[in-house]
Structure 1
Amino acid sequence: MTSLYSRSLSRMLAIVVGLSVALPAGLAGANFTPPSNLGRPGNREGAATRGACKVQASETEPDLTAIVPVSNIGLTTATRPTLYWYLPSNNYQEIQFSLYQTKEDNTEALIYDTQLPLAGRPRLDSLTLDGKVAPLIEGVDYRWVVSLICNPNDPDPSQVRYVEGWVRRVTASPGLSESLKAATPLQQFEILAENGLWYDALTTLVEFQQKQPTSSEAAAKWSELMNAQSVRLNRLSQQPQATGG
């Protein structure tokens, strides 16, 4: 599986376009508004563990955090989206990424699992699903888990710090696709955000931030997004910079 190191993210506005699933009316400023009937139980922020490995978080720096809305689930039109998390200073040895598919009887099946070294990874980290993972099925919920492993040779779960989020693939309407073709990158972000497409919007902003790393507009939108009522990742309101690669 190929990992994609996030270089940095950005923020939000609004424009209206149709999507082939029922989505609510859009954004106020950067207030991302997901569908009201969309939600999953989750664990967006890592909890303390016992043992030798620690996270050097503080009141201003967040813990290990899955970058998903309060609802814990985000929509995408991508068959293999990019998933994002914040990685604080720590002395763990390894990242484990796991992807589970929800079945019709609400049980889960592990469909992908990989281990990645922690050395050199950026604060704003991510992983793009690649050809080793089957394309996401429309309308099916997938749970993704990022775990910090203290000692790969020690299976003690009390020393594992983890976060999780959910992703569901939907189909974009022809009108949405046409609007995106005619839009600038920031306009594309606004359109995607307005239509509740969380992962698509974040990926668009990451790519914009790569090309415009000093954009004050992008930095302001990121802060607004993280502080939005439907997101509430306030400790990420100061945009982290990628330090690894």
Structure 2
Amino acid sequence: PKSVHPIAQEPILEDSMATASSPSITSTSVPVLPYQAPEVASQGKRIIVDKQETGKDPIFLSVLSPDHIGLTIFEQPALFWFIGNQTDHPVDVMITDENNTQMLLDVRMLPPIRPGIHKVELKDYGIKLHPDTTYQWKIMLQGSTQGESLVTSGWIMRITPPSNLINIPQQPTLQAAPLEQLMEAGLWYDAFWALSERIQSHPTDTIALEQRAGLFEQVGLFPPAQHDRSHIQGP
């Protein structure tokens, strides 16, 4: 049976555009760190939900992943997803193996689910990724009736750490793993995780917010990038 979480996860950073918004500012002083897509970048396709219907609130729902198989060096990484507006419908989080033959995770988050970036910690569910194995993960927003669900999905693969990152602890931090090293190694999930941990601890860190927005833009995730920049305070 599906595990049910009666309280939706708090967003890592609530969407200020849905509440009292700060000025949206694009920083020009923070350099964009280039993400080096790995060799598997030709494989795996991200699917997002971006619905604009007359008379209805827009819906943007996306796994936060590159548009190809994303890499991690961690056995129990954190995965993140984004929703643009609050929803009063449940959200299912699922992880399967590459061939969709084994369900590793199938949990339900109950509403209300607030807008913003949400985190799923695999260690909370005892899920461990095997080395050199590809997994698909999905976020499914349930509809009012059966058959109305909306699904976003992405791909993740755990690899052996490069020699310069072999001593990182159980989760990445900007202190233990400089962002440049994670980006150069093509470790999109780990670079994003490190930035997100920094932002969760220091919500007004404009450098980390701008760097994460730049990371979003490099993989075509523009609404989440706008979301981060809306939290950058003006002078």
Question: Which TM class, normalised by the smaller chain length?
Answer: 0.7 to 0.9
Q: 1:194 aligned to 174, 184, 195, which one?
A: 184
Per the TM alignment, residue 189 of structure 1 is displaced from its structure 2 partner at its CA by 2.3
- Secondary structure, aligned partner of 1:217: helix
Deviation string for 1:124-159 (max 9, x for gaps)? 1121113534411101111001000124xx4x22x1
**Alignment-derived partner of residue 79 in structure 1:** 75
Q: 2:150 aligned to 147, 153, 161, which one?
A: 161
- Per mean C-alpha deviation after superposition, the further-off stretch among 118-127 and 203-212 is 118-127
Contact 1:44/1:68 (<8 A) preserved: no
Identity across matched positions, percent? 22
**Alignment-derived partner of residue 14 in structure 1:** none
Deviation string for 1:15-62 (max 9, x for gaps)? xxxxxxxxxxxxx94221221333434343115499xxx6x33xxxx7
Q: 1:36 aligned to 30, 39, 57, which one?
A: 39
What CA distance in whole angstroms lies between the structure 2 residues aligned with 1:224 and 1:43? Answer: 18
What CA distance in whole angstroms lies between the structure 2 residues aligned with 1:84 and 1:132? Answer: 15
Deviation string for 1:48-95 (max 9, x for gaps)? 499xxx6x33xxxx7101111122x21111111111111121444100
What CA distance in whole angstroms lies between the structure 1 residues aligned with 2:120 and 2:168? Answer: 27
What CA distance in whole angstroms lies between the structure 2 residues aligned with 1:199 and 1:4? Answer: 20
What CA distance in whole angstroms lies between the structure 2 residues aligned with 1:150 and 1:76? Answer: 32
Contact 2:165/2:177 (<8 A) preserved: no
Q: 2:63 aligned to 62, 66, 75, which one?
A: 66
Runs of 4 or more off by more than 4 Å in structure 1?
Answer: 1-6, 47-50
Contact 1:8/1:206 (<8 A) preserved: no
What CA distance in whole angstroms lies between the structure 2 residues aligned with 1:34 and 1:147? Answer: 27
Q: 2:129 aligned to 114, 120, 136, which one?
A: 136
**Alignment-derived partner of residue 84 in structure 2:** 88
Contact 1:49/1:160 (<8 A) preserved: no
Q: Which runs of 5+ in 2 are unaligned?
A: 15-30
Change (3 A) 1:176 1:70: same
Change (3 A) 1:66 1:223: same
What CA distance in whole angstroms lies between the structure 2 residues aligned with 1:178 and 1:132? Answer: 24
User: Aligned pairs, how many?
Assistant: 206
What CA distance in whole angstroms lies between the structure 1 residues aligned with 2:174 and 2:64? Answer: 24
Instruction: Point out which structure has higher relative CO (alpha carbons under 8 A, 6+ apart).
Output: 1
